[in-house]
Amino acid sequence: MTDLERQSLQQACDDLITQHNSLLLASLSTDGKVDIGYAPYCRDEAGFYIFVSELAKHTPNLLSNPQASILFIEPEASATNPFARRRLTMDCQVQQISKTAPHYNHTLDALATKFGEIVSVLRSLPDFHLLLLKPQHGQFVAGFGKAFSVDAAGQLCFHSAS
């Protein structure tokens, strides 16, 4: 694989994240039931921040079982084949960010910049939690026969045959 091909694949993986304002989120309840939902997010070097209500099934799941799987997937309308949609999955550890943490307000300000006035309204509600989804590893699928491991920073791992 050439350097140009590697760069193109990495760009396609990065684009999946940057072209979405929300992520799909799988969580596990205390009684072992899987739930899937979504949440708007903002990202920094630590991971993906979501601001979620206790009314959503995934919030108590994530608070009691701090693991999640997230998915970014190519829209069906732009996919050439529904069986080979580009997608990135990441396994994440979940950390609740305390309202007294130094970066709590800064992160909510970043969410407000990205999503507007609604974040101010949500900030006033007592049942919302700021959670950090810290990627551990993942997989990027670029099409048929094109699956690559991804590290915690979202970088594709290209293994050379030796």
pLDDT in tens, 34-77: 999 999 999 999 999 999 999 999 999 999 999 999 999 999 99
Give the residue-averaged pLDDT of 113-127.
90
Residue of 46, 11, 30 whose CA lies nearest to 156: 11
Distance CA 20, CA 13 (A): 12
**pLDDT score at 82:** 92
Q: How many distinct structural domains can be found in the chain?
A: 1
SS3 119: helix
| 49 within some domain | yes
| 109 within some domain | yes
Could you tell me the CATH number of the domain that includes residue 53? 2.30.110.10
Q: Range of 121's domain?
A: 3-153
**For residue 99, which phi and psi values (nearest 5 degrees)?**
-65, -20
Q: Binning pLDDT at 50, 70 and 90, where does residue 1 land? A: confident
**pLDDT score at 161:** 43
Residue of 73, 100, 95 whose CA lies nearest to 84: 73
Q: What is the DSSP string of 5-36?
A: HHHHHHHHHHHHHHT-SEEEEEEE-TTS-EEE
| 159 within some domain | no
pTM: 0.92
β-strand 34-40 against 156-157: which pairing, if any? unpaired
Distance CA 117, CA 45 (A): 25
Q: What is the mean pLDDT of the chain?
A: 93
| 161 within some domain | no
